[in-house]
A = this chain, B = another copy of it.
Amino acid sequence: MIYELFYWPTIQGRGEFIRLALVEADAKYIDVARLSENKKTGVTAMIKILENGSKEHPPFAPPILKYGNRLISQTANILMFLGEKHRLSPTSEKGRMWTHTIQLTINDFLVEVHDVHHPLAKSFYYEEQKEEAIRRASNFRSERLPKFLGYMEKILSRDSSSEKYLVGKRTTYADLSLFQIIEGLRYAFPILMSEKQKNYPNVTALHNRISNRTRIDKYLNSSQRIAFNQHGIFRYYKELDL
């Protein structure tokens, strides 16, 4: 069965966390909204799924994953589903729940990253909340980012082996998601990250290792990987970086 991913076609956004898991799993999928407009593909098809995709399990927002008759929404939920199916999480219930716990913390942080540039509302332009964004960014840089990355570093540091993973002894979707967070932070806060990342050596090492994984490396260098841009969750504004 081929997965169908429904997500906005021009940004990495939350969809990218799903794409990375699908790529690492070597799972076949179509990126529905990125295909040309047709009955079953394109943005219109995504909007249709969003509005009427399932009477049983109506989705609130993309990303949405379709697998046969099943429609799954909420990023962390989709990853939990894929993790179990494709060995991107441990086999034990306890281990799976712990992987999910880390993912939920990553998701919370992602909201904070977005709200740095849009502290008042998604529907206001950046220019309408630029001064507020500058104030929020200052707190983000000094408190929130160190707290989050410090937590991830703490998790990784417990592992005494040289190849550390967030969970157990192999790659999980949580590692892929942390990789993506680091990618995004480097795009949005280049100066800050070049200064701070030495404080998180294990996080940095994990990021390197993930980016060198065969399928991930190939994907990152393909046209399938949408470039970061000023419409996604991670955005670069000089005045928010330091």
Query: Which residue numbers of A lie inside 8 Å of B, CB to CB?
Result: 55-58, 60, 70, 72-74, 76-77, 80-81, 94, 97-98, 100-101, 104-105, 108, 111, 115, 119-121, 123-124, 129, 132, 135-136, 139-140, 143, 151, 154-155, 158
Say which residue of B60, B104, B111, B115 sits within 8 Å of A77 (CB atoms).
B104
In the bound complex, residues from chain B placing their C-beta under 8 Å from that of A100 are: 74, 77
Question: Are B81 and A101 interface neighbours, CB within 8 A?
Answer: no
Q: Given contacts A70-B94, A123-B139, could you give 17 more A-B pairs where the C-beta distance is less than 8 Å?
A: A56-B98, A56-B158, A58-B155, A58-B158, A60-B105, A72-B97, A72-B101, A74-B100, A77-B100, A80-B97, A115-B119, A119-B119, A120-B132, A120-B135, A121-B143, A123-B143, A124-B135
| A58-B155, A60-B105, A72-B101 known; A120+B123 contact, CB < 8 A | no
20 A-B contacts (beta carbon < 8 Å)? A55-B158, A56-B158, A57-B98, A58-B151, A58-B154, A58-B158, A60-B105, A72-B101, A74-B104, A77-B97, A77-B100, A80-B97, A115-B115, A119-B132, A119-B136, A120-B136, A120-B139, A121-B143, A124-B139, A132-B132
A81: nearest chain-B partner, CB-CB: B97
